[in-house]
Amino acid sequence: MFEFEQVLVATNNFSEENKLGECGFGTVYKGQLPEGSEIALKRLAPHSGQGFTEFKNEVQLIAKLKHRNLVRLLGCCSHEDEKILVYEYLSNKSLASFIFDENKRALLDWSTLLAIIQGIAHGLLYLHKHSQLRVIHRDLKPSNILLDSEMNPKISDFGLAKIFNSNSIEQNTTRRVFGTYGYMPPEYASEGIFSIKSDVFSFGVVIFEIISGKRNSGSRQCGDFINLLGYAWQLWKEGRLIDLADASLVSKSNPIEMMRCINIALLCVQDNASDRPTMADVVAMLSNQRMIMAEPKQPAYFNVRVENHGASCAPESCSINDITISVTVPR
């Protein structure tokens, strides 16, 4: 446990200069301990929706999770209405701050992006199958994936995570649907049904965003569609999958590897949860280039179209301060 006074000193009284960005339930600050080590502190908003139960949930979960692709929890602080989580500080901040920024994106070559995709997959596989607790994250997105100094991805923000029976991949239902538009599978967004396949869906969306440099649900349109899923499906049917990729990336990458990753993403975002692969399947497909993959079926949200056929996909810039805030979905 950290004392509240320690937190105030470390963050210079939660100064704006130390603010890193917004997360699911609050604000993240950079801090420095007396001995000089840097930390990241998540200060939960009093009216964020994450009460003491969710706070306790996140602390207990992360304390038991240890994997190179998960962010490391250092401690916590509870003082009156203040609830604060203290994590390791990761100098490169979030994946979102790289892939959606045209200048920073140029620093990432294909081998780095592929390693990031593989690292996220291994982190999710650990959560679903190999950890002491079996965990469904429920809010996987680029702003919740942090990067260390060597660009290794680490999954963060476990405020919405749920523990499930290790011997079952059955679906669960909740009346409180939280998450982020664009990353939630249809069965969760509309009916509150979630399972490990919910994370698989989110992972597929993240792959699309990593490769394209575009947000799945942004203000920019993708051909006839308002999301990357429908656009990718159209390109798949037309045999033009490579057109989904950021043009600057195609010339300096392995197109076969890239198209294989897009194929995997299409399998992950299939409309029917039972058709989606498990993360064990995904890791196997990513690591074995000779493994034969099934043909994807129609993705979720495929029929969401726009009338302006002249619109095109274009990258959108953002910074760490533009992190998407998780929202409650109207039922």
Which of 137, 232, 215 is CA-nearest to residue 181? 215
Sign of CA dihedral 204, 313, 324, 321: positive
Contact 25, 159 (CB under 8 A): yes
Instruction: Locate 104 and state its tokens.
Output: 């920073």
Closest by alpha carbon to 144, among 75, 222, 202, 227?
202
CB count, 10 Å around CB of 311? Answer: 15
Whether residue 268 contacts residue 204, with contact meaning beta carbons closer than 8 Å, is answered with yes
In this structure, the number of other CB atoms found within 10 A of the CB of residue 106 comes to 13
Phi, psi torsion values for 87, nearest 5 degrees: -120, 170
* Residues 25 and 48 sit within 8 Å (Cβ to Cβ): yes
Q: Where are the alpha helices (DSSP H) in 196-278?
A: 196-212, 228-237, 247-250, 255-268
Instruction: Please calculate the CA angle 99-104-109 and round it to the nearest 5 degrees.
Output: 75
| Cα separation, 172 vs 232, whole angstroms | 29
List 139, 157, 199, 281, catalytic entry? 139
For residues 177 and 198, give the distance between their C-alpha atoms in angstroms, rounded to a whole number. 12
212 contact partners, CB below 8 Å, separation of at least 6: 228, 244, 245, 246, 313, 315
Instruction: Look up residue 31 and give its amino acid.
Output: G
Beta-carbon contacts of residue 14 (< 8 Å; ≥ 6 apart): 8, 27, 29, 43
Any catalytic annotation for residue 199?
Answer: no
Chain position carrying tokens 């990513």: 286
Buried b (16+ CB within 10 A) or exposed e, 137-155: bbbbbbbbbbbeeebbbbb
Just list the catalytic residues.
139
